[in-house]
Amino acid sequence: MAAMKKVIVAAVVAALAAFIGHRFLQLKEMALASRDVPVKPLNCHYLKNIEYGAEDITILRDGLAFLSTGLNYPGMPSFSDDPGKMYVLDLLHPKPTPVELQIKGELDLSSFNPHGISVYIDEADDSVYLFVVNHPHHKSQVEIFHFVEENTLVHLKTITHPLLHSVNDIVAVGVESFYATNDHSFPNEALHFLTVLLGLPWCDVVYYSPKEARVAADGFMSANGINISPDKRYIYISDILDHAIDVYERHEGEQLVHLKSVAVGSLCDNIEVDHRTGDIWLGCHPNGMKLSTYDPEDPPGSEVIRIKNIHSEQPVVSQEYADNGHVLIASTVAAPYEGKLLIGTVFHKALCCDLK
């Protein structure tokens, strides 16, 4: 009997070791650890004043761009202990230069740590509201600001909720309502890593309004960037670890219905949508392993992917920019506007490129 128990225990241990080894190989594949992309340059220059990343960028139809900078995110390198900042940039200016936004109100700016951003324009009076994911002391909350002058944000409200436990990005659909992605299945890092190790797609997207908060979509390995179509009919979500963009249709009562997934072959972070064409632009990480094990001698690269005709039977996925990290490290967002492209990063610089 004792010998049989030893055999059973040995078999269980061997099976567990084999499973864990297999999963770690799958995790390396998920992180695209062996991927190298050839450099594909554009005519670009660095944006002034952006030294510690521009994790997210959003551009209004009139060419006004908002940038979140200085993100300090767990597991990612950080080269500044200063609080994060918000910038604004006028792309219609002959020499567009980011200007720091002055923030007024009761928000604690000493721990401001901005992540994903979104803008909502109230059609009743054209008021501009800026929504910012904020991680003070690595918490998860959403700040709502009113953009009132050329360089001023007035803080209106901080939103927290148990469902908004690991917010990465946000898309505003009302003055106080939005969809938000959770990039962790649990706020606890160990529990989240366990779900990734086991391959459990337990991350979700939350719909929030003053009247309700609920899970609107789930089944993501890690829900990351989110945005909306120009006609407000569709929601696009990046499942970064699944290397795909998921397309949902908005139905009455802010219900989301999944339509399709589009493979992109990279770890795509934030999503921006061309106001004019509806094309999807993605800031991506070509090799996630280089990002998580940062080595300044072999830095993580950058990649920009565009999806044309995403609602057709055959969307066209193309690489528009690629770098090995010697010009731009760890791209997160690519925002187009009238022949120009702004590319932001987690912790590095930001580029303004010509597409024409």
- Residues making up the annotated binding site for Ca(2+) are 55-56, 117, 168-169, 224, 269-270
Angle, in degrees to the nearest 10, between helices 189-197 and 2-30: 100
Whether 172 contacts 142, CB under 8 Å = no
CA distance 57 to 334: 8
CA distance 250 to 256: 5
- Rg of the chain on CA atoms, in Å: 21
φ and ψ of 66, to 5 deg: -110, 140
What's the token pair of residue 204?
């979700």
Nearest Cα neighbor of 183 from 246, 238, 229, 144 is: 238
What's the token pair of residue 59?
């551009």
Return binding residues: 55-56, 117, 168-169, 224, 269-270
Bridge partners, residue 281, by sequence: 272, 306
Q: 115, 155, 285, 348: which one is catalytic?
A: 115
The label of the residue with tokens 């670890």 reads: 241
Q: How many helices (H) and strands (E) would you count in the chain? A: 3, 25
Has 93 been annotated as catalytic? no
CA distance 33 to 24: 11
CA distance 157 to 214: 20
CA distance 84 to 96: 21
Whether 69 contacts 55, CB under 8 Å = yes
Annotated catalytic residues are 115
